[in-house]
Amino acid sequence: MNVAAAAHEPAVRDIRFGIIGCSAIAPRALLEPIGHVAGARVTALANRTVAKAGEMADRFGVSVVYRHAEDLLKDPDIDAVYIALSNDLHAEWIGKALQAHKHVLVEKPLCLSTADLIPLAATVEQSSAYLLEGVMVQHHPWQRELRRIVESGCYGRLRSIATSLCIPAKNGHAFNYRSRPEQGGGCFWDLGVYWLQLLQAVVGLEQAEFRSQSDFNGPHGCDWTFHAQAHYPGGLEASALFSFERPYRCAHVLTFDSAVVSLQDCFRANLGFYKITLKTEMRDITPNITATDASTEGPSHQLQSKMKTVFEPMNYYVNQLEAFCSIIRGEAEPIPFREAAERVRLLAAIHEAARSGKTIYAG
């Protein structure tokens, strides 16, 4: 965003949102959460199928429906837009919305092509509006807590991070962009951003080497199961499993020298207000074992203790919307565009590497 231009804008009090694309995620990501965010409301919807937009508008009390998104962008009574289109349309409509001076919250991933990043970066820089990629988990305090644990060294060196993001496809994602490669379909484009953002937030992506594997045996050649690994110079290994066909499991497990910290069911808070729990299991070898002790058969001499850090019930999408509104009002610093751009570059490269077998080197 052009900071000089923003400085001359009056403070936004009541932020009026328009939605471009009445996809299934729109109610959960914006229409329902906005009722919990003071000073924000949805005033218009745009969808090429007007009947679908009309039904959604009636359900949520939205007063204006447009057939064409261009008309929504011309509406002077809209301050910000939420883009809920298929992945291949994100870059185009981000650009159009920013040029129309609308703040933009766009579903992840930001875009599919690294070629789109240069014009997008220029538009962001020149615009008086803000852009936020909708990576819902990044606004929850569990990420800051994990980073604090890593940086404190309280459990010794971080040895590995194991991530599983497996969400079975409902009806095989038939008639859904997730089953169409040309629209950014497949499990890695859908879920990989969460893994990269976690690494980015907790340990950084610098100097990591990435490898990946997939059979690309989903509908139309999409990746229905995808494996990825990141190796860091200090020895840290991060691995991830993504799948639309394996049993549901969404979890992160961080293994340190003297503890294992796990976050199970890490996506639960996207369904409503739920507690998120970090579980820590400590392992300490008992010192000063005597010869008699050492010769005694039985379990190893190891003390185990378990701890929990429980966060109050939160909703990922409410957190995200509150963060975005705070950025628009100038109450919080915007998340730099370069972070989302870095993820897009790696998503594209890692996805392609599963076909080529190449190793990808982060900058």
Torsion region of 120: left, alpha or beta (phi above 0 gives left; psi -120 to 50 gives alpha): alpha
pLDDT at 304 over 90: no
| Digit-coded pLDDT (tens) for 324-353 | 999 999 999 999 999 999 999 999 999 999
Taking alpha carbons only, the member of 152, 161, 241 closest to residue 205 is: 161
pTM for the predicted model, two decimal places: 0.91
Q: pLDDT tier at 1 (50, 70, 90 boundaries)?
A: low
Amino acid sitting at position 225: T
| Digit-coded pLDDT (tens) for 143-156 | 999 999 999 999 99
Q: What is the mean pLDDT of residues 174-203?
A: 97
Q: What is the mean pLDDT of residues 84-110?
A: 98
DSSP labels, 22-81: --THHIIIIITGGGGSTTEEEEEEE-SSHHHHHHHHHHHT--EEESSHHHHHH-TT--EE
pLDDT at 302 over 80: no
**For residues 193, 198, 204 and 206, what is the CA-based torsion angle, rounded to 10 degrees?**
-30
Q: Say how far apart CA 212 and CA 220 lie, in whole Å.
A: 20
Q: What is the mean pLDDT of residues 69-79?
A: 97
pLDDT at 279: 97
Q: pLDDT tier at 290 (50, 70, 90 boundaries)?
A: very low
Q: What is the mean pLDDT of residues 38-51?
A: 96
| Digit-coded pLDDT (tens) for 130-183 | 999 999 999 999 999 999 999 999 999 999 999 999 999 999 999 899 999 999
Q: Say how far apart CA 360 and CA 363 lie, in whole Å.
A: 10
pLDDT at 285 over 50: no
pLDDT at 296 over 50: no
Higher pLDDT, 138 or 293: 138
Q: Is omega for the bond preceding 336 within 30 degrees of 0, making it cis?
A: no
What are the catalytic residues? 108
3-state SS, one letter per residue, for 70-137: HHHHHCCCCCEEEECCCHHHHHHHHHHHHHCCCEEEEECCCCCCHHHHHHHHHHHHHCCCCEEEECHH
pLDDT at 55 over 70: yes
CB 44 within 8 A of CB 72: yes
Q: What is the pairing mode between strands 237-243 and 225-231?
A: antiparallel
pLDDT at 198 over 50: yes
42-56, 61-75, 286-300, 331-345: least confidently modelled range: 286-300
What percentage of the chain reaches a pLDDT higher than 70? 91
Q: What is the mean pLDDT of residues 189-213?
A: 98
